[in-house]
């Protein structure tokens, strides 16, 4: 199982010729590896979880499955979302088989699915804040701007 | 590890486990060929497979073991403890190697020379002596017996005789008998032609007659046949030839046990109840081997192995389906006449059925957790030099796999305890007048969504005095506490970590290594464990565990607008609070507490604990979940309690696992995700986990409370005047409606349920029917007594406390029974009888004058004498009260006889129950509690009543004095 995860992780980052879902958080564009995305839903009902880390917005019911919602604004250290601002959910999967857990990443907007080549991939610049470095080891130079490639395991694993 | 090895390991583990139980039985019943065959087969399979897989160590051990077993099977060697011992050791070693193999994939280095030498030595032991050679009987020819026609008649007669005389045959239908008779004729003919062996004859008849499971049936058949031959006039010589032939070989037939006689005497009787699934299967040895093989083959064809993960996955999917179904149903309810309602109903049913089916696939008989126990008990018995019988009932009771895994260890531990500490040595047992063999009974049964497992032994019980001493020594109790503690309370101490882990204590107290761990483990899965023990007679543990952990019953509660689920198993009771009610939350330096009966309950607010934002002003209204975790009981303040719901428990996500207050989460019917509270985590978070023994006895307290005290209603009258009255005397409590109070005949009366009843005050002043100072109406206590009801006015009801009715101060005047301390307050006990007679007034006097039934009351407790005397008087009896029987004798000696005697159940009334004129007076025993409502053995009593229940007493008096009642 560990081997599987490791293999997956390697496709995320080291082999940049892959398919990505672009999402927008604050002013920034991020990329989620499409293979890890299970679902995209709009305006979910989120039930708060007391005592949870602040970036955990709560839990939601995805077709009978309990999914923990992580607010990407707070996770990335960006200003809190206003009540009237739109929110979208990208559901990602962590783990395998019976241990698999779903997490909902709360983002402002979900963009396109992009098939990107390794030629436009490069490591994140050293000047990027350390926290972001650990979550986004690399980025894609898109025509419209830069898209930071998110390490989903790091994003979820580092919560709390 | 390759698949072949994995497969081998799985199978080997399973068969070895089954063997363990089998071997112990085998040692006791070495003459069971089926069992021996099974053991031999397993050993043989292991040997064969190990050779194939190149596992030389396992192969050599199995080979040596198989040799010895082969000698048993061939009856060359008698299975004795000396020869079975090495076999058990061999199996242990095989198990050990299998575990190693499982872990490392290799057998590991090592030498089993000693063990193999031991096995070889066992095999080389003195042969058991050859079975006596079967006598060559002189078989008569068919013609000698009179041909086929005679055989036909003989068979019929024989079968009829069997049907008349043998229990097993009596249950056969006529068809069975006919078929069997036909078979018997053909078989006899074949035997005479020497075509089939004699054993086939008897075996066939067994098969033909249902329930012929009795090994003694063989001789019965031969005897019946002999009788039939004689009846039909077969010559004695010919008869003897056939019978000799049959009886000689019937003893060596495959299924008969008689041939084992030379090796070891057959057991006197089967154990009263089958010991385990394995045992019960083998307990029917008369099932012919052929039939068993068929059954076995059929059974294996009807089951398949499914991986546990696949089942878990299925369970998860079904849980989701259930939730979706709930959501659909909820939506559909809001739309009347929806075209979907029909199909939805069907979906509903199918889903429920599916859920149940999936649950059953996860169910396993509890016997699976017991399979190791006979072996453990056997080994302990040998080691400790004790004789122990382990009886297991209800092994087929099914429960969830997960729960099964979790109770395995606690159960094993407790059985070990019972064998080790509970049961005495044979000599001690003899001295105590018990049979040598100690008995451990393990019993499981379903009881309303729970499994109840009872473990009882007939050993020495828990030594209460030693426990008391230990509690003192360990500082668990103060001297006063220890002396006041009841036996039950002291026995509960074995669950106390401080007591049970100390080695020195264990030796003295007898039991309790890690009983606290056992309790913790059982409580972890929402179960409870209770204990009852009588010194010298034995100990019984009763464990209640939920059938499954996936679906639990939970209370849905709300705090600050958020809902949570609280597992119902840990909630003892719910207490509603509001500023106006008597359940008022008080604060000690900011810490909330609640007075609950005579206890102070520490409270914790869910809102504060979870740091929830209050939606509005705290209303002060709410609900307290009285929760108990192990020794600690506390209250959780919530805003609302909705209802109970069966919830599907789902684990919390990794990122939330660190929050100790939640044990899981779930989805409600409306789709909301809510957290499941973990009572343990909350108890820990309150930070006031009690270490003393004071709160350690909630259960014991609950049990003993009833015995030692009764409910007392405490009311306030005027300023700081506290009055108490036994709750059992109060019929109803009402708010006073001033508009219903009237003046009649110079007296205040209350319109109450269509009647007028006297309204009285405790101090006989004119009733003040105005409102209390706080603007709330006053309360009345309504007392009922056969049409002579009355109401007593009080300012308000303060509390209902559990308190023993022992007045600490003597009465000061009429209407006053004495004073006592309740909740730190001096409270006057009201003499209800006094007010009764006042209320009854003239009516009462007239009634009493018309027919004074004479009642003799014998009661040592002055308080009860004072309370019962006026009560009985108000009911129209002339009461003479006495403190004791001696005291009463003078009352009976002079004067008229009494119609009835009321006496404390402990009194011996024999001497006074007969009057001078020889008339026998009926007597009613007065018992202290409902629990003790058992007729005292001392005799002389015609009925028994609860001392605290006026109605019950009056009922009993009427019951025993039918004539007197008519006369009145």
Could you read off the pLDDT of B168-191 as tens digits, one per residue? 555 566 777 777 777 777 777 777
Nearest to A51 among B323, B661, B673 (CB): B661
Kindly state whether A123 is in contact with chain B, defined as any CB-CB distance less than 8 angstroms: no
Kindly state whether A156 is in contact with chain B, defined as any CB-CB distance less than 8 angstroms: yes
Contact between chains at B321 and A68 (C-beta distance less than 8 A): no
Contact residues on chain A for B323, CB-CB shorter than 8 A: 61, 64
Kindly state whether A159 is in contact with chain B, defined as any CB-CB distance less than 8 angstroms: yes
Residue A25 pLDDT: 94
- Between B274 and B115, name the one with better pLDDT: B115
Identify the structural domains of chain A with CATH numbers, from first to last: 2-157 (2.40.50.180)
Residue B95 pLDDT: 82
Residue A7 banded pLDDT, cuts 50, 70, 90: very low
Instruction: Determine the residue among A48, A65, A66, A105 to mutate to test chain B binding: the one whose Cβ has the most chain B Cβ atoms within 10 Å.
Output: A66
Contact residues on chain A for B676, CB-CB shorter than 8 A: none
Residue B195 banded pLDDT, cuts 50, 70, 90: low
Alpha-helix runs per DSSP H in chain A: 2-13, 72-75, 130-135, 152-157
Average pLDDT over every residue of B194-215: 61
Residue B170 pLDDT: 57
Angle at CA of residue B73, ends B67 and B76, nearest 5°: 80
Contact between chains at B324 and A156 (C-beta distance less than 8 A): no
Kindly state whether A104 is in contact with chain B, defined as any CB-CB distance less than 8 angstroms: no
Average pLDDT, chain B: 74
Three-state SS string across B379-398, please? HHHHHHCCCEEEEEECCCCE
For residue B436, the SS3 value is: coil
Q: Is the pLDDT of residue B251 over 60?
A: no
Average pLDDT over every residue of B548-568: 87
Average pLDDT over every residue of B562-573: 89
Residue B338 banded pLDDT, cuts 50, 70, 90: confident
Taking a C-beta distance cutoff of 8 angstroms, is the pair B16, B98 a contact? yes
Average pLDDT over every residue of B116-143: 61
Nearest CA in chain B to A160: B655
Residue B726 banded pLDDT, cuts 50, 70, 90: confident
- How is residue B695 written in tokens? 């709160």
Nearest to A49 among B316, B319, B675 (CB): B675
Residue B512 pLDDT: 42
- Between B812 and B405, name the one with better pLDDT: B405
Average pLDDT over every residue of B519-544: 84
Least confident of A73-77, B214-218, B903-907: B214-218
- Residues contacting residue B134 through CB under 8 Å, at least 6 positions apart: B248, B249, B252
In tens, the pLDDT along A92-115 reads 998 876 678 899 999 999 999 999
Distances (CA, A) of B18 to B113, B198, B756: 26, 34, 77
Residue B290 backbone dihedrals phi, psi, to 5 degrees? -60, -45
Contact between chains at A56 and B658 (C-beta distance less than 8 A): no
The distance of A14 to chain B (nearest Cα, Å) reads: 26
Residue A104 pLDDT: 95
Residues found in chain B: 968
Nearest to A50 among B611, B654, B666 (CB): B611
Taking a C-beta distance cutoff of 8 angstroms, is the pair B122, B82 a contact? yes
Residue B209 pLDDT: 63
Contact residues on chain A for B313, CB-CB shorter than 8 A: 98
Helix (H) or strand (E) holding B542: strand B538-546
Three-state SS string across B301-326, please? HHCCCCCHHHHHHHHHHHHHHHHHHH
Kindly state whether A13 is in contact with chain B, defined as any CB-CB distance less than 8 angstroms: no
Kindly state whether A78 is in contact with chain B, defined as any CB-CB distance less than 8 angstroms: no
Nearest CA in chain B to A102: B653
Residue B753 pLDDT: 74
B591: which strand partners? Answer: B588
Among B154-168, B388-402, B786-800, name the most confident range. B388-402
Kindly state whether A99 is in contact with chain B, defined as any CB-CB distance less than 8 angstroms: no
Residue B172 pLDDT: 63
Contact between chains at A51 and B320 (C-beta distance less than 8 A): no
Kindly state whether A100 is in contact with chain B, defined as any CB-CB distance less than 8 angstroms: no
In tens, the pLDDT along B622-635 reads 899 998 876 678 89
Q: Is the pLDDT of residue B691 over 60?
A: no
Nearest CA in chain A to B563: A47
For residue B905, the SS3 value is: coil
Residue B168 pLDDT: 55
- Between A80 and B831, name the one with better pLDDT: A80
Residue B620 pLDDT: 62
- How is residue B169 written in tokens? 């045959």
Contact between chains at A101 and B659 (C-beta distance less than 8 A): no
Contact between chains at A66 and B312 (C-beta distance less than 8 A): no
Taking a C-beta distance cutoff of 8 angstroms, is the pair B686, B633 a contact? no
Question: Nearest-CA neighbor of B252 among B140, B130, B70?
Answer: B130
Q: Is the pLDDT of residue B285 over 70?
A: no
Q: Is the pLDDT of residue B862 over 60?
A: yes
Question: Nearest-CA neighbor of B415 among B453, B363, B462?
Answer: B453
pTM above 0.80, yes or no: no
Sign of the four-CA dihedral B798, B800, B803, B808: positive
Least confident of A24-28, B493-497, B804-808: B804-808
Among B282-296, B750-764, B860-874, name the most confident range. B750-764
Least confident of A8-17, A41-50, B29-38, B205-214: A8-17
Count of CB contacts below 8 A, A vs B? 70
Least confident of B271-280, B551-560, B637-646: B271-280
Question: Nearest-CA neighbor of B386 among B359, B421, B415?
Answer: B421
Helix (H) or strand (E) holding B596: strand B591-596
Instruction: Determine the residue among A64, A93, A104 to mutate to test chain B binding: the one whose Cβ has the most chain B Cβ atoms within 10 Å.
Output: A64
Among A30-39, B251-260, B709-718, name the most confident range. A30-39
Helix (H) or strand (E) holding B118: helix B113-124
CA atoms of B968 and B957, how far apart (whole Å): 13
Contact between chains at B611 and A51 (C-beta distance less than 8 A): yes
% of chain B at pLDDT higher than 70: 75
Nearest to B610 among A50, A58, A103 (CB): A50
Residue A49 banded pLDDT, cuts 50, 70, 90: very high
For residue B197, the SS3 value is: coil
Residue B160 banded pLDDT, cuts 50, 70, 90: confident
Residue B855 pLDDT: 84
Average pLDDT over every residue of B673-677: 94
Instruction: Determine the residue among A5, A44, A47 to mutate to test chain B binding: the one whose Cβ has the most chain B Cβ atoms within 10 Å.
Output: A47
Contact residues on chain B for A70, CB-CB shorter than 8 A: 655
Contact between chains at B673 and A51 (C-beta distance less than 8 A): no
Nearest to A61 among B611, B655, B673 (CB): B673
Q: How many Cα neighbours within 13 Å face the side chain of A143? A: 1
Instruction: Determine the residue among B562, B649, B655 to mutate to test chain A binding: the one whose Cβ has the most chain A Cβ atoms within 10 Å.
Output: B655
CA atoms of B898 and B882, how far apart (whole Å): 13
Q: Is the pLDDT of residue B5 over 90?
A: no
Among A2-6, B351-355, B786-790, B930-934, name the most confident range. B351-355
Alpha-helix runs per DSSP H in B209-340: 217-231, 236-250, 277-282, 289-302, 308-333
The distance of A98 to chain B (nearest Cα, Å) reads: 7
Residue B265 pLDDT: 39
The distance of B668 to chain A (nearest Cα, Å) reads: 10
% of chain B at pLDDT higher than 90: 4
- How is residue B121 written in tokens? 């030595």
Instruction: Determine the residue among B559, B654, B677, B681 to mutate to test chain A binding: the one whose Cβ has the most chain A Cβ atoms within 10 Å.
Output: B654
The distance of A19 to chain B (nearest Cα, Å) reads: 27
Least confident of A62-66, A120-124, B119-123, B249-253: B249-253
Q: Which residues of B touch A (CB under 8 A)?
A: 309, 312-313, 316, 319-321, 323-324, 562, 610-612, 650, 653-656, 658-659, 661-662, 665-667, 671-675
Average pLDDT over every residue of B16-36: 74
Residue B533 pLDDT: 86
Q: Is the pLDDT of residue B214 over 70?
A: no
Kindly state whether A56 is in contact with chain B, defined as any CB-CB distance less than 8 angstroms: yes
Residue B378 pLDDT: 86
The distance of A53 to chain B (nearest Cα, Å) reads: 8
- Between B702 and B595, name the one with better pLDDT: B595
């Amino acid at each position: 199982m560990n081997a599987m995860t490791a293999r997956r992780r390697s496709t995320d980052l080291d082999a940049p010729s892959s398919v990505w879902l672009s999402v927008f958080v604050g002013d920034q564009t991020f990329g989620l590896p499409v293979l890890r995305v299970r679902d995209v839903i709009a305006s979910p009902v989120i039930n708060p979880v007391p005592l949870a880390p602040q970036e955990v917005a709560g839990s939601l019911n995805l077709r009978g499955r309990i999914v923990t919602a992580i607010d990407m604004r707070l996770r990335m250290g960006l200003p809190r979302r206003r009540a009237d601002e739109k929110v979208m959910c990208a559901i990602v999967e962590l783990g395998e088989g019976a241990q698999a857990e779903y997490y909902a990443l709360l983002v402002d907007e979900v963009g396109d699915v992009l098939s990107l080549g390794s030629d436009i991939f490069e490591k994140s610049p050293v000047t990027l804040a350390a926290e972001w470095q650990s979550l986004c080891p690399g980025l894609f130079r898109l025509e419209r701007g830069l898209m930071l490639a998110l390490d989903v395991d790091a994003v979820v694993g580092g919560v709390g | 590890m390759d698949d072949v090895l994995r497969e081998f390991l799985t199978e080997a583990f399973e068969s070895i486990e089954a063997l363990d139980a089998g071997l112990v039985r085998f040692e006791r019943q070495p003459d069971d060929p089926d069992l021996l065959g099974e053991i031999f087969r397993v050993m043989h399979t292991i040997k064969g497979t190990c050779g194939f897989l190149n596992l030389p160590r396992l192969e050599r051990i199995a080979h040596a073991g198989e040799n010895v077993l082969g000698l048993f099977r061939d009856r060359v060697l008698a299975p004795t403890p000396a020869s079975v011992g090495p076999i058990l050791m061999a199996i242990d070693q095989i198990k050990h190697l299998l575990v190693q193999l499982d872990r490392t994939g290799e057998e590991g280095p090592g030498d089993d020379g000693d063990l193999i030498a031991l096995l070889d030595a066992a095999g080389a032991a003195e042969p058991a002596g050859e079975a006596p050679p079967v006598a060559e009987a002189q078989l008569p020819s068919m013609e000698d017996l009179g041909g086929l026609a005679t055989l036909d008649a003989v068979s019929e007669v024989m079968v009829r005789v069997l049907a008349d005389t043998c229990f097993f045959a009596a249950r056969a239908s006529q068809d069975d008998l006919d078929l069997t008779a036909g078979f018997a004729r053909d078989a006899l003919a074949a035997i005479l032609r020497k075509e089939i062996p004699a054993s086939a004859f008897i075996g066939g008849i067994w098969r033909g007659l249902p329930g012929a499971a009795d090994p003694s049936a063989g001789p019965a058949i031969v005897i019946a046949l002999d009788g039939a031959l004689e009846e039909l006039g077969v010559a004695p010589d010919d008869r003897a030839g056939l019978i000799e032939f049959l009886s000689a070989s019937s003893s060596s037939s495959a299924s008969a046990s008689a041939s084992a006689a030379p090796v070891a005497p057959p057991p006197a009787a089967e154990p009263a109840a089958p010991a385990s699934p394995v045992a019960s299967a083998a307990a029917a040895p008369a099932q012919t081997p052929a039939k068993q093989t068929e059954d076995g083959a059929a059974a294996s064809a009807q089951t398949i192995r499914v991986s546990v993960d696949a089942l878990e996955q299925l369970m998860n999917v079904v849980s989701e389906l259930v939730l979706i179904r709930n959501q659909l149903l909820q939506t559909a309810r809001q739309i009347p006449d929806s075209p979907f309602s029909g199909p939805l109903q069907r979906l509903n049913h199918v889903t429920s059925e599916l859920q149940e089916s999936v649950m059953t696939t996860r169910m396993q008989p509890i016997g699976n957790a017991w399979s190791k126990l006979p072996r453990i008990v056997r080994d302990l018995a040998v080691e400790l030099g004790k004789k122990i019988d382990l009886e297991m009932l209800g092994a087929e009771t099914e429960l969830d796999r997960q729960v099964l895994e979790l109770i395995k260890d606690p159960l094993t531990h407790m059985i070990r305890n019972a064998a080790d500490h509970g049961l005495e040595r044979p000599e001690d047992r003899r001295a105590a007048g018990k049979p040598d063999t100690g008995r451990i009974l393990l019993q499981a049964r379903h009881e309303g969504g729970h499994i109840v497992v009872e473990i009882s032994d007939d050993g020495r019980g828990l030594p209460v005095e030693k426990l008391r001493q230990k509690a003192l020594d360990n500082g668990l109790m103060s001297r006063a506490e220890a002396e006041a503690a009841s036996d039950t309370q002291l026995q509960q101490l074995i669950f106390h970590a401080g007591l049970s882990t100390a080695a020195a204590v264990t030796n003295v107290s007898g039991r309790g290594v890690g009983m606290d761990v056992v309790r913790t483990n059982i409580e972890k899965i929402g179960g409870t464990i209770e204990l009852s023990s009588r010194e010298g007679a034995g100990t019984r543990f009763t464990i209640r565990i939920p059938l499954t952990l996936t679906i639990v019953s939970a209370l849905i509660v709300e705090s600050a607008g958020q809902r949570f689920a609280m597992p119902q198993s840990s909630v003892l009771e719910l207490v509603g609070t509001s500023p106006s009610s008597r359940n008022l939350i008080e604060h000690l330096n900011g810490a909330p507490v609640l007075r609950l009966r005579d206890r102070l309950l520490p409270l914790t607010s869910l809102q504060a604990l979870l740091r929830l934002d209050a939606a509005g002003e705290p209303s002060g209204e709410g609900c307290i979940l009285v929760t108990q975790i192990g020794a600690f009981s506390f209250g959780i303040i919530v805003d609302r309690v909705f209802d109970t719901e069966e919830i599907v428990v789902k684990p919390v996500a990794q990122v939330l696992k660190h929050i100790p207050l939640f044990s899981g989460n779930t989805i409600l019917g409306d789709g909301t995700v809510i957290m499941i509270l973990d009572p343990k985590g909350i108890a820990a978070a309150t930070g006031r986990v009690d270490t003393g023994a004071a709160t350690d006895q909630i259960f014991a307290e609950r049990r003993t409370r009833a015995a030692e005290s009764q409910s007392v209603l405490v009311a306030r009258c005027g300023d700081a005047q506290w009055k108490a009255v036994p709750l059992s005397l109060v019929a109803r409590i009402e708010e006073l409606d001033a508009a219903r109070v009237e003046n009649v005949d110079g007296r205040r009366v209350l319109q109450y349920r269509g009647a007028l009843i006297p309204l009285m005050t405790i101090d006989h002043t004119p009733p003040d029917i105005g409102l209390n100072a706080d603007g709330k109406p006053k309360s009345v206590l309504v007392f009922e007594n056969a049409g002579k009801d009355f109401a007593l006015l009080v300012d308000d009801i303060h509390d209902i406390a559990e308190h023993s009715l022992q007045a600490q101060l003597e009465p000061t005047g009429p209407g006053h029974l004495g004073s006592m301390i309740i909740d730190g307050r001096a409270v006057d006990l009201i003499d209800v009888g006094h007010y009764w007679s006042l209320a009854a007034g003239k009516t009462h006097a007239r009634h009493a004058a018309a027919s004074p039934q004479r009642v003799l009351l014998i009661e040592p407790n002055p308080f009860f004498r004072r309370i019962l005397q006026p009560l009985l008087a108000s009911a129209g009896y002339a009461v003479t009260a006495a403190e004791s029987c001696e005291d009463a004798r003078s009352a009976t000696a002079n004067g008229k006889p009494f119609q009835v005697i009321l006496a404390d159940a402990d009194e011996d009334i024999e001497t006074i129950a007969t009057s001078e004129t020889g008339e026998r007076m009926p007597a009613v025993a007065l018992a202290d509690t409902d629990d003790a409502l058992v007729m005292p053995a001392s005799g002389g009593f015609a009925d028994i009543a609860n001392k605290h229940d006026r109605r019950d007493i009056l009922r009993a008096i009427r019951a025993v004095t039918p004539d007197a009642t008519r006369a009145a």
